[in-house]
Amino acid sequence: MGKQRAVVLGVMLGVVLVASTGALGAEAVRHEMSFFKMIYVSTFSSVIGALDMFVIFGCSITAIALIIEHGMTIRRIVLLPELSVAQIKTMFDERRFREALEFCQADPSFVSGVVHAGLIEAANGYEAMERAMGDAADERTARLYRKIEYLNLLGNISPMLGLFGTVYGMMNAFGRIASMGGKANPEDLAEGILLALVSTFAGLGVAIPALAAYAIFRNRIEQLSMEAALVAEELLANFKPTAAA
């Protein structure tokens, strides 16, 4: 009987412990602030904090739009389309140079622009054509680099904006401590500290994807521009003096 009572008491004690733990867990879940609630509270906690967070939000929207636009325009099918290369090659093989010049002038692709620059200098010899193609390739590559430079700018500004919110939030928290004679409660400091942490998180959340996309697009531009220059040189190989001879 004594053993049975001990077993029953142990089971009852376990049930009570489990129930109390579940109640405490439910209470903690009830009082836990969601991620979006933290962003909302930190954004509208003060005027300066709101301005800082809205600027970071604007940077994030701009970065997303730029990444989408660059992803659609900086790719092989746009800069180095196989159809354009094949059509230019066919015109050269059939010695329809005037049509090839007009086609390259109307085609917006990278390789057509380089070939067009070379064809314009055809009357001045192949060396002039090579120089013109090199200058055109460099100019178009630099234009693409300038195009993606805004992602680099956003990637460097966003952490600074987050740091601005961090400094302001900590100033707010320590100012509250000073105004209360060093006896501030945690609730009095939570607002400033929350602004500091959320602004830092938001700034990094914009900077990391923007800088990663900038590196990806920069490598892609370098690779595709080199390939386009080589393809253009191969297309105009028939203009070399040795080939003509």
Which of residues 166 and 238 earns the better pLDDT score?
166
Question: Domain limits of the chain?
Answer: 1-32, 35-244
Cα separation, 239 vs 194, in Å, equals 68
Cα separation, 71 vs 228, in Å, equals 18
pLDDT at 30: 47
Report residue 42's pLDDT band, with 50, 70 and 90 as the boundaries.
Answer: low
User: Quick count: other Cβ atoms within 10 Å of Cβ 163?
Assistant: 15
Span 187-202, pLDDT tens digits: 767 777 888 888 899 9
Decide: 49 and 195 in contact? Cβ < 8 Å.
Answer: yes
Report residue 116's pLDDT band, with 50, 70 and 90 as the boundaries.
Answer: very high
Contacts of residue 52, defined as CB under 8 A and 6 or more positions apart, other chains included, come to: 161, 164, 165, 168, 199
pLDDT at 241: 72
Which of residues 6 and 149 earns the better pLDDT score?
149
pLDDT at 134: 92
Decide: 212 and 152 in contact? Cβ < 8 Å.
Answer: no
Is residue 245 pLDDT above 90, yes or no? no
Cα separation, 73 vs 140, in Å, equals 13
What Rg value do the Cα atoms of the chain yield, rounded?
A: 32
Residue 79 sits at φ, ψ, to 5 deg, of -85, -35
DSSP letter for 34, please: P
pTM of the model: 0.77
DSSP letter for 32, please: P
Span 79-88, pLDDT tens digits: 999 999 999 9
Contacts of residue 5, defined as CB under 8 A and 6 or more positions apart, other chains included, come to: none
User: Quick count: other Cβ atoms within 10 Å of Cβ 53?
Assistant: 24
pLDDT at 188: 63
Is residue 16 pLDDT above 60, yes or no? no
